[in-house]
Amino acid sequence: MDAFRIAIAQLLVDTFPSLTIEKAFEGVDYTSKGADFSVALPRYRLPGKPEELVQKVVDKFTPDEWIESVVPSGIHLNCFVSSKTLSRLVLDQVHALTHATASGEPEYGTNKSGAGKRVVIEYSSPNIAKQFHVGHLRSTIIGAFLANLYKASGWEVISMNYLGDWGTQFGLIAVGFNKYGSREELEKDAIKHLFDIYVKINADAEKDPSVKAEAAAFFKRMEDGDEAALTDWRQWRELSVKKYEQEYDRLNVHFDVYTGESQVGKASQAAALTQLEQMGLIKDIDGAKLVDLEKYKLAMAVVRKKDGTSIYLTRDIGGAIERYEKYKFDKMIYVVSSQQDLHVRQFIQVLKLLGFPWADQIEHVNYGLVQGMSTRKGTVVFLDEIIREAGSVMHEQMRKNEDKYANVHEPEATAEEIGISGIKVQDMSAKRINNYPFKWDRVLSFEGDTGPYLQYAHVRLASIERNNGELLPLPPPSEIKTELLTEPQCKAIIALLGTYPFVVEMTLKKLEPSEIVTFAFRLAHAISAAWMPVMVKGVEDKALAQARMYMYLCARDVLGSAMRLLTLRPLER
């Protein structure tokens, strides 16, 4: 697509010789408002009224193989590219880069801007023995998307899950496990069993203060590294991770590293504290130690409790230091709910005060709340409940259409995949920071801008090859007559395909998954608008049918690639 921008830039330079081609090029923008590209003339600070400048370019213009027409629109110059050139260029590029990764060139839509750079992305990070809430799910979905996005931009990505696997509650669970625990239940579903125990022993502790004291004493032993006190905990952690791994797998989410609060070394936490003390930043209040961040409007933050045990914030400080030592990252991202904005700002500020230059390379990707996600049984407690509910609600909906249902391949797996797509797409549809209400019927509808709709659009495209075998194999790309794709619906699709690499680049700057979601919907809509006027089946002219098929297959590839970026698994049937 840059070739078109260059052609427009050249036209500007021809009209205004004082402009350099680089400067002219920067001002040529993609547009979605009826023109293919648009130039805002005031941007160049040329002498004269913008409207008159626009007119000068229009007068100078003659159509060529790149630009078909230019139209004044106030202070903007709108430029329409030649459909013929567009089709040839874009489709051949999509085809070549999607199907010939062996050439070493990045796949269509990906780039190498991050080559040689490493990013650590921490996301999901649930707490063992506690509820997996929708906030964790959002972190999981957005974080996995970011991991894909950075990979697509050539970065080396380390996906990290930082489990809440340490803290006084593990003393409680230890006491609870003696009373209510069962090895068998633990093996069956560690996450659920530990949560049940936690609920029961918590209730006991409310009534009987000795339970709390016993728990505190037990956790103290764990903190002191008493092996006997750690054996059970280790198994709980291991089995929980195993179960989580299976569930993440169903979500198409994968981690390179499972770490957790328990893994942060005491030494690095203590060293950070000592340094803060030496810098005179610590205040002692009733035996607790606080770091004063009032100056940064970040309040006073406790970094050590009265009884000397470490806390969440201190572990994040020590944890970040250890991560830098280990990974020497160029960037580290925390995908954590905006409810923890203060916490994250506090530990980043402390790292800055400690003088770590890499603290500036930390980014907090935050997000708003999801309201009202529940299953038919009630409030959501576990991740597998969410996945199961998505699958079963979807399955019921599919069953309602008996004719279609009869043809569904592996209905349960398909339902689960579509259900999960629904949740993910809903979650990434708007700006991250927005709160949104959760409604199953909206999330799982095939109408409107939903995950099921994207899957449906992809399946429809995938069916083209299956239903038009007589057109296969297609001739080599250079012999496909793309100039026959004259309908405006074709141009709309192809122009979108052409902007995909640019959309990916821009998304990396904004870190908003909604940019890709919006792109995928625009493409799906353009395809659905073409479906009737631009048919493949029943077209007599074989060359025309093949050109159309070529376009739809390219559209399938790009839609599939956008969906994969969003962590979906595009369905074929």
Alpha carbon distance 268, 393 (integer Å): 48
Sign of CA dihedral 375, 376, 379, 383: negative
Closest separation in Å from C-beta 326 to ligand ARG: 15
| 352 contacts 362 by C-beta, under 8 angstroms | no
Q: Which is nearer to ligand ARG, 131 or 445 (CB)?
A: 131
Q: What does the buried/exposed string (b/e) look like for 473-482 if buried means 16 or more CB atoms within 10 Å of the residue's CB?
A: eeeebeebeb
**Residues 308-327, mask of contacts with ligand ARG (x by CB under 6 A):** --------x-----------
Q: Choose, by CB under 6 A, the member of 334, 456, 550, 552 that binds ligand ARG.
A: 334
Cis peptide before 533 (omega within 30 of 0): no
* 125 vs 518, beta carbon nearer ligand ARG: 125
Pairing of β 118-122 and β 257-260: unpaired
Is 132 or 440 the residue whose CB approaches ligand ARG more closely?
132
Contacts 24+ apart (CB under 8 A), 33-38: 34/78, 35/71, 35/73, 35/78, 35/79, 35/80, 36/4, 36/78, 36/79, 36/80, 36/81, 36/495, 37/4, 37/5, 37/8, 37/78, 37/79, 37/81, 38/73, 38/76, 38/77, 38/78, 38/79
Would you please indicate which residues are annotated as catalytic (active-site) residues? 130, 133, 136
Q: Pick from 98, 125, 269, 349: which binds ligand ARG (CB under 6 A)?
A: 125
Q: How far apart are CA 233 and CA 222, in angstroms?
A: 9
Q: How far is the CB of 305 from ligand ARG (least distance, A)?
A: 17
Separation CA 86–CA 364 (nearest Å): 39
Minimum gap (Å) between residue 198 Cβ and ligand ARG = 14
Of the pair 122, 427, the CB lying nearest ligand ARG is at 122
Closest distance of CB 257 from ligand ARG, Å: 13
In the complex with ligand ARG, which residue's Cβ is closer, 381 or 553? Answer: 381
Q: Which stretch binds ligand ARG (CB under 6 A): 35-43, 97-105, 122-130, 457-465?
A: 122-130
Residues 384-443 that bind ligand ARG (CB under 6 A): none
> Rounded to whole angstroms, how far apart are CA atoms 451 and 78?
34
List the one residue out of 518, 508, 502, 516 whose CA is nearest residue 28.
502
- Backbone dihedral angles phi then psi of residue 192, each to the nearest 5 degrees: -70, -45
The CB-of-166 to ligand ARG minimum distance in angstroms stands at: 10
User: Quick one: which of 41, 317, 336, 520 contacts ligand ARG (CB under 6 A)?
Assistant: 336
Closest alpha carbon to 463 in 556, 558, 566, 565: 556
Residue 549 CB, nearest approach to ligand ARG (Å):
48
**By CB under 6 A, residue 127 contacts ligand ARG:** yes
Phi, psi angle pair for 120, to nearest 5°: -100, 125
Q: Which is nearer to ligand ARG, 135 or 513 (CB)?
A: 135
Is 561 one of the binding residues for ligand ARG (CB under 6 A)? no
143-162 positions binding ligand ARG, by CB under 6 A: 162
Whose Cβ is closer to ligand ARG: residue 165's or residue 557's? 165
Residue 274 CB, nearest approach to ligand ARG (Å) = 22
Residue 176 within binding range of ligand ARG, rule CB under 6 A: no
Q: Which residues bind ligand ARG (CB under 6 A)?
A: 122, 125, 127, 162, 164, 316, 334, 336
